[in-house]
Structure formats: C-alpha cells, structure tokens
Amino acid sequence: MKVLVSGGTGLVGRYIVEELLAAGYTVIIGGRHAPLPRFFSRPVEFAPLSLDPARDHIEAFDDAYFFVHCAFHHLPGKYRGGEGDDPATFRRFNLDGSVRLFEAAKRAGTRRCVFISSRAAYGEHTPGTMLTEGMPAKPETLYGQVKLDAERSLAHLAAPGFVTASLRLTGVYGNLRPNKWDKLIEDYLAGRPLPSRAGTEVHGQDVGKAVRLMLEAEPARISGETFNVSDIALDSWDILEPIRWERDCVNRLPLAADKSVLTPMDTAKIRALGWSPGGMPLFEETMHALATGK
C-alpha cells in the first residue's frame, strides 16, 4: 500500500520513511522538491505538496492509501520560536495549511491520517510531573499551541473510513546524517565550553515503528486519539561520554544535569498497542555508530 509522507526528507520524516520502506510500504514523498537520488535506502515516489492553505492538493492523495503529516514551516533549526518575527505566517502554514491537507486527504478517500505532533502541546509543568494524554494541555508557546490545535482539528475529522491519530513526540535522535547532535559533538571535540542540559529522547526508528503501528492497529483503538512517544532521559554528559571513549578525547565533559527536573511522558497508552522502544541499548548502539562513523 502507498503512504504519502509530507516532510519526509526532514529530521523526523526520514526515519519514518525508512521504517515504512523496510516494512514493504510504497512511499510517496510530499514536498516542494523531490528528494535527491539515493537519499533514501530504497526508491520512493514524489508528489508536489505545500503547506500553503490557499492551494488545494487533493491530487497528491490520488494514490495514497495512508497519509503521514510531518511537514512543518519554521526558521531553520528552530521549532519552538520557529515563527521568528512572523507569527501570522507560522500559524497560517502550520495550522491552516495542515488542516487543509487533512481535509483534502479525507475528501480523496485516504483511509488513515497520522499527524506528527509534539510534547510542546502540554506546555510547562512542575518538575517531575508525568505527562499523560488525558491531562489538560496548556501550551505557552505558539509552536505548542499550533500543534495542539492541529491535533484537535484532525480528531474532529475522524469518521468511519477515515481513521486519525496524533503522535506527541519528545526529542528525536538517531544515526542518520546530518545528525542533530553533530554540532554538540563538534564543539566537544574542539574543546569549546558546553552547557549541561537534560531532556527526554526517542530514537527515530522507534518513531517510525509508532507511525507504522498507527497504520496497522485496529481502527477503534486509535481513531481520534493522541499518543505519547518517548523513551529515555539523557543529558549532554550521556551523549558525549561515548564520544570521549571512542575518540580518545581528553576534553572535559559537561557536568551531569539534574534529570529530576524533567517532565517525562507516560507511554503506557501506545505500549498497550504493542509499541516497545529500544531504550539504552539502542542509544548505546547509535552513539557507537556516530562516534566511529560506522
């Protein structure tokens, strides 16, 4: 079956595409430009697609049995605060444009739509608070509010024959290049001072598995629902310590951060469907690959 993936060449989207390709799906990359040859491990198709709500892209869904919406308009390298000095355009493209695509998918007869959302939809909470899907969401950033509003719009469209689901992702890491930790590793190896930071992370492969689960799960168990997708708590020390050993680097590591101030995401809801992330073994395997280039 064919899956249309918007933003499939992005940091998160490419992991999703690779997982779907490995599972035997035919993937259509929806975007402004076709991916470069051999960007993915297997051949993909391409359909022009944009977040401009003034355009109707229903033709992009002609061959798509499923739709996974990863595309997001933002300043390069920034999600929270990605609106820069133009919040109106940020909201128009990422909310109005997303809803326009959801509606086009439904009109075209696409069977399922999965939206890639963010933990930012929860907003800030007291350190140590466990974030669950049923708790009130109170985003304090435009990024979080747009994600939350898009989730709600998609859930409202759920109907027999049009299954919808949103995945609230935490930080996504992985071994594909370019990598989100390239600058951190580069700065460490160069001996530049580094802050001590902690956050919750999930491997891109596990995100891909979560998306695949939304495409294959029983409709009644997922339609109109939101699911947390998170795995492990990491800090700068955790990320750089394997680099230090593999590269035999004598530069000082940043101090360990206080992980008790984090607000972890409860993943019991998606685990009940059979999702099982890679945890620390997958993290260690990934860091070895990043450190050695293998």
Quote the pLDDT of residue 75. 65
Q: Take residue 245 and report the two structure tokens written for it.
A: 């050993």
Where would I find the beta strands (DSSP E) of the chain? 2-6, 26-31, 45-48, 66-69, 112-118, 163-169, 171-173, 198-203, 225-229, 232-235
Separation of alpha carbons 233 and 279, rounded Å: 10
What is the CATH architecture of 2-172+203-229+264-277? 3-Layer(aba) Sandwich (3.40)
Low-confidence ranges of the chain (pLDDT < 70): 74-83, 294
Cβ proximity of 101 and 61 under 8 Å: no
Going from N- to C-terminal start, the domains of the chain cover: 2-172+203-229+264-277
Quote the pLDDT of residue 73. 85
Quote the pLDDT of residue 160. 96
CA distances from 218 to 82, 111, 116, 123, 277 (A): 36, 13, 19, 30, 20
Quote the pLDDT of residue 293. 80
Rounded (5°) CA angle 110-7-214: 45
DSSP class per residue in 225-269: EEEEE--EEEEHHHHHHHHHHHHT--SPPPPPP-GGG--PBP-HH
The secondary structure of residue 162, as a DSSP letter, is B
Cβ proximity of 29 and 5 under 8 Å: yes
Rounded (5°) CA angle 111-91-32: 60
Quote the pLDDT of residue 137. 94
Quote the pLDDT of residue 45. 97
Closest CA to 141 of 98, 198, 82: 82
Q: Take residue 232 and report the two structure tokens written for it.
A: 């492990």
Paired strand residues for 46? 29
Quote the pLDDT of residue 85. 76
Give the pTM: 0.96
Separation of alpha carbons 153 and 80, rounded Å: 21
